[in-house]
Amino acid sequence: SRRPLVLLPLAGLGACAALPAEQAMGTPAEAVARHSAASVIANGVPTGAAVAVAPGLAVTNAHVVRAGARPLSLRTADGAEVEVRSVREVPRHDLALLEIPRGALRPVRVSAREPRPGERLWAVGPEGLGRAIASGPVLRPSLTLPGYGRGFTARLGALMGFSGGPVVNGEGELAG
């Protein structure tokens, strides 16, 4: 049958993709991808991304944690895999806080300002799922989502797997 021959080359595309830090070279997201972001790994497979927000703490989406089997780990830009010691989920906001070894990731600088209309942003996704960097403009810089609070929308062209990863502004700061 021809079907397996067609599927095998497609399955290998993610394995051939450059790592997020390599794909981010020359963009404002480079330092974040190299030092602050990581792939969330479950049973050896990336399920999303995470970003360090404080020493020993990273944040991702709760559905990324629920999507994967336990135990969970993070794979950093240098290829090190570190175990997640505990997970606290906030399903209402689709967030999960991950306790990671101190020093595994450098906490990201958080932007003190809201994104501006048309401002270019970069999203950092995990390794192994194809393209790991997406960029695009802010569409709505300030909106309120009932039950969730304030936020913004941007047209980033992010693919499946970008969940939980950082969105970086032109100054290399966490915008979302």
| Structure confidence by residue, pLDDT tens digits, 111-149 | 999 999 999 999 998 887 667 888 989 988 888 878 777
Cβ-based neighbour number of residue 16 at 10 Å: 8
List, for residues 47-90, the tens digit of each pLDDT value: 889 999 999 999 999 888 875 567 889 999 988 999 986 678 88
pTM, whole model, 2 decimals? 0.83
* pLDDT confidence tier of residue 11, bands split at 50, 70 and 90: very low
Q: Could you give the C-alpha distances from 130 to 13, 30, 126, 160, 161, in angstroms and in order?
A: 6, 17, 9, 9, 9
- Predicted local confidence at residue 159, as pLDDT: 65
Place of tokens 């994104």: 115
First to last CA, the chain: 46
